[in-house]
Chain A
Amino acid sequence: MNLRALQAGDADAWDAAFRWLWPVVLAVAQLKLQPFFPNEAEDVAIESLEELVPKVRAVKTVEELRPLAASIAHHRAVSLLRERFARKRGAGKTESLEAVQAESGADCPDPGADSPLAELEQRELAQRISQSLAELKPPLGEVLSDFFLHGLRYEEIARKHGLAVGSVGVYLKRGLEAIRRIWGRNGE
């Protein structure tokens, strides 16, 4: 992908970029919106790509685009959630909000409130995503996801990735330290 062509507004270059970035913005939007407003995810994804277009002028490498697009989509999705929940509260519809939460199994009406992600500016969030992608190289990222997100046990992770059971904990420890270094508040 040619950054100069994108910056010059070349339609073909943007076609390729949109196809490349679409899965990212859609996945990030769905991540936040799926439990509450699944029908909004595609709109947020498109709006995120629209917002990305003028920002391409300040980008130095094509590789920056993916984390930047993800960051924009994240902020847009969180903003939409906050706006919708605030509107519901304002309209005295707290009960229906709780009903939505109960139905979806989601545990927080303001999904960004307690997260360090919520405090980060768009560009900083993009930088941290980019750094995470660089540091959580295979199989480190997968091992972390398998344990913390998918609930796999040490033995299952070892089998899946062809690792010794004893080294799974080493990967987890190394991965957690990397996440803490990249995402921890004030470099804790």
Chain B
Amino acid sequence: MYMSDQRFFDLAIKAVAHQATDGERAELDALLSREPGLRAEFARLQADVRLAKDVLPLVNATQPAAADLPAYARGRLQSKVRETLGRPETSAPSATDEQRRMMWRWRWLLGLAAAAAAIALVVVLWQAPVPVIQVAMLDTAGASRGSDAKELAALQQTWNKAVVDSFSSTESARAWETNWAGGSRKAVVKILYDRPAGELRVLGRWKGKTFAKTFVVEQDFASALNQAKQYIQEQTSR
């Protein structure tokens, strides 16, 4: 019977793993000479050990462990979810009608209450340090269309202190997204308008923490820009 004798198993497995002492090796050799039928079992055991060494790392890797999903990967993966499984109403709380209405209400209030706006401005100016804002646009179709220029202008207008980079390849845009020159401690916010995917991705590092959010650009680019701006303000005022 396969591996029926525990003593034989212990001797054989130690020999296969090169852990047998001289005495154990001699005992195994004697056993194999006395019972030649065990040689087949020994060979089978060697094959089992090869199999175990092959599959155990894979099984171990599947066990729960800790590793942080990179912020840049999140936007890309969420794009895949939207492309593949659609865009449910409940999945993007920032884009619900209710929140849009709320945002407009706030704008009116801010417009009417000049004093409140002045206070808000003081608060904004007071905040230090201010994150470095980097803005870019990806358009794999090239920059020949008129709407490109409008969107670039809108990006520039929204973040008027930033230089807006323009990319025509996904690889270049991705390299830009993942390049955090200055280390993880530097406060940086990256805003990438991924035109083919129809989304505005925000990635940031602020006070040692990372944040990321994707804003779907449906019809209204300006609305997505406002949402992104508001989100950045929320994240960097903490």
A residues with CB within 8 A of B: 7-12, 14-15, 18-19, 22-24, 26-28, 30-31, 42, 46, 49-50, 53-54, 56, 66-67, 70, 74, 115-117, 128-129, 132-133, 136, 141, 144-145, 147-149, 151, 153-154, 169-170, 172-173, 175-177, 179-180, 183-184
Q: Shortest beta-carbon distance, A171 to chain B, in Å?
A: 11
Please name all residues of chain B whose beta carbon is closer than 8 Å to the beta carbon of A129 when the two chains form the complex: 58-59, 62
- Give the interface SS of chain B, mostly helix, strand, loop or mixed: helix
Please name all residues of chain A whose beta carbon is closer than 8 Å to the beta carbon of B90 when the two chains form the complex: 10
- Cβ contact of B51, chosen from A116, A136, A141, cutoff 8 A: A116
- Cβ contact of B9, chosen from A14, A27, A132, A169, cutoff 8 A: A169
Binds A, one of B66-74, B108-116, B200-208, B225-233: B66-74
Please name all residues of chain B whose beta carbon is closer than 8 Å to the beta carbon of A66 when the two chains form the complex: 62
Please name all residues of chain A whose beta carbon is closer than 8 Å to the beta carbon of B81 when the two chains form the complex: 9, 11, 14, 53
On whether the beta carbons of A8 and B61 are closer than 8 Å, the reply is: no
Q: Kindly identify, within residues 45 to 104 of chain B, every residue whose CB is under 8 Å from any CB belonging to chain A.
A: 45, 48-49, 51-70, 73-74, 76-78, 80-82, 84-88, 90-92
Known interface pairs A15-B74, A144-B52; 4 further A-B residue pairs with C-beta atoms within 8 A, sorted by A's residue number: A9-B88, A23-B64, A27-B62, A179-B56
On whether the beta carbons of B77 and A50 are closer than 8 Å, the reply is: yes
On whether the beta carbons of B58 and A70 are closer than 8 Å, the reply is: yes
On whether the beta carbons of A172 and B51 are closer than 8 Å, the reply is: no
Q: Shortest beta-carbon distance, B228 to chain A, in Å?
A: 16
Chain B interface size, under 10 / 10 to 19 / 20 to 34 / 35 or more: 35 or more
On whether the beta carbons of A46 and B76 are closer than 8 Å, the reply is: yes
Q: Which residue of A lies closest to B13 (CB)?
A: A172
